[in-house]
Amino acid sequence: MANHLEPSRQARTQPPLTEGTGRFRLRITLAPLCLCVVALLHLYRVQWNQQTPWKGGGFAMFSTVDARAARYLKLYLVTETDLIPVAVPSTLRKRANQLRAAPSETKLRDFATRLLELKWYNQRLHREAIKQQLLETDSNHVDPLLLTNSSSSPQNVPSQLQAPDFRAISPQDDNARHFQPLETQGVRVELWRYQFVSRHASLHGRKHLEIEIARTKSTP
Amino acid sequence: MKFQNVINRLAVAIRQVARTDVLDLLPLLTVLLLLLSPLSTWYLHTPLVLLCIIAVAYRKLLKATPFWYIISVLWGTTIYFHWESTDNHKYLICYWCLALCTTFSVAPKDQLKALRQTSRLLIGLCMTLATFWKLMSPDYLDGTFFHYCLLVDERFTSVATTFGNISSTALTDNRELWELLREGYLYGIEFQNTTLETSPELGKLARFLSWWTIFIEAALAWLFFMPAHPLVSRIRNFVLLVFAVTTYAVAPVKGFGWILMLLGVAQCHNDEKAFRIAYLVTFLLIQCYTLPFAGIVKLLIER
């Protein structure tokens, strides 16, 4: 019985780690070692996975124009007659950021597929419908589910420009049934990247990746 | 007179804080830093805030290895899930929490030494990597990167207008063009190239900033890997303070500045109380840099 308890008692009374021992050295270098491992992974991802050097823990901030902001998405809904430009829906913002931070064909396809799953409605027509309802009925009886937040415009876009008409709503959203969705044939996603030419102080955008997915019969 | 009183009180408070045992002071300041750097995931942020509050109430926790282990895990998990938007200083905060965890796991008499060595390594590695990436970057050494920052990045507005001979209106126009290049397609304005407003002085300023930054970061990397010597120690403390005072005045990234100042305090020797005070003052100064000075001056003039 005494022998059985021996190891645990020994563990409890183990002398504290002191300077000069191997375990002490391991403890003090553990955090710097983690930093080195993450930095190596970051180096690999920047070199081979097109990851922006700014992200990923490699301490490459303020070293290049090629930050996540320099990689931007252009999204379009494909209809029978038109290509309708739309902003990144809030539900896909995280995926959009991942795609911009380390773009790949797989991520682009996944993003486009998810974009295709969303239902889109025309905000302007929707607002007009609410206005009509207000005129026809008592304003106190307007269905609050019909009112959604208006889309937020980018910070630096001139205020006189009109906000985009189309907004996404997830099919799983309870409010989805209140909206008249747009008939789309598919989606088109483009990933652009700009470079800065210091001599002319000019920004040059270039299409980096693109994909167009058509709606199949099985797609909801 | 009132202002003088405030300054005096602040000086006394800083001196008192600097006299406090580093192993009591640093965990407390770290908890403050953690509370001021919100995490993007609520289900990880909420337990972290609760743990920090409990630790402030029961100070013994601040010296407990499991406490810092849990904090590191929570912080690390958030980074893992949000790597695409996590800034580099949050990684450094995570390594710092891990350093506190390992420090409190060694014998009490060696804890200060352990913390000092770990902090020195963290600063050295961070500066080495920062220098490496700047040297490797195709658009850094010729000043392209800083030229771009001065024209487009809002954080550089005051430097660009003060030293770059460019109006704030021109910079606002530049930012609008930048935004339209990326988002203009939504408004039916689609273009691929655009020329920004600049000035010859901005190009020179950009080259100066590029070389100054790489010089001071490389110097720090070298100094923090040098073997321990009182003179080396004094020089590296001085250079780190110069780096913090100058860099964060131009680019106010307070999270990074704060964690560097904590690491600075941690790697100070016992006889370097003056540097410890200087790091704490710079910690406050970095916060002051984020104040809207131009707006305050304008308000005072209008009054």
- Percent of chain A predicted with pLDDT > 90: 50
- Amino acid occupying residue B104: F
As a whole number, mean pLDDT of residues A126-140 equals 67
Of the two residues A108 and A150, the one the predictor is more confident about is: A108
- Percent of chain B predicted with pLDDT > 70: 96
3-state helix, strand, coil in chain B (%, to 5): 80, 0, 20
Of the two residues A124 and B105, the one the predictor is more confident about is: B105
Is the model's pTM score more than 0.80? yes
As a whole number, mean pLDDT of residues A169-184 equals 70
Mean pLDDT rounded to a whole number for chain B: 91
Q: What is the pLDDT of residues B217-237, one digit of tens each?
A: 999 999 999 988 899 999 999
pLDDT value for B55: 94
What is the DSSP secondary structure assignment for residue A1, as one 8-state letter? -
Of B129, B148, B196, the CB nearest to A39: B129
- B142 close contact with A: CB closer than 8 A: yes
What is the DSSP secondary structure assignment for residue A90, as one 8-state letter? G
pLDDT value for A1: 42
Q: What tokens appear for A213 in the block?
A: 């997915």
- B186 close contact with A: CB closer than 8 A: yes
As a whole number, mean pLDDT of residues B61-75 equals 95
Q: 3-class DSSP state for residue B99?
A: helix
Choose the mutation target among A50, A198, A204, A210 for the interface with B, i.e. most B CBs under 10 Å. A198
pLDDT value for B188: 85
pLDDT reading at A144 higher than 90: no
Q: Which helix (H) or strand (E) holds A214?
A: strand A202-214
pLDDT value for A151: 44
Q: What is the pLDDT of residues A2-22, one digit of tens each?
A: 444 444 444 455 666 777 788
pLDDT reading at B202 higher than 60: yes
Dihedral of alpha carbons B211, B216, B217, B222, sign: positive
Nearest C-alpha in B relative to A87: B186
Q: List, in sequence order, the alpha helices (H) in chain A.
A: 2-12, 22-48, 93-101, 105-117, 123-136
- Contact criterion met (CB below 8 Å) for B197 and B166: yes
Residues 203-222 of B with CB under 8 A from A: 203, 206, 213
Q: What is the pLDDT of residues B11-37, one digit of tens each?
A: 888 777 777 888 999 999 999 999 988
What is the DSSP secondary structure assignment for residue A74, as one 8-state letter? E
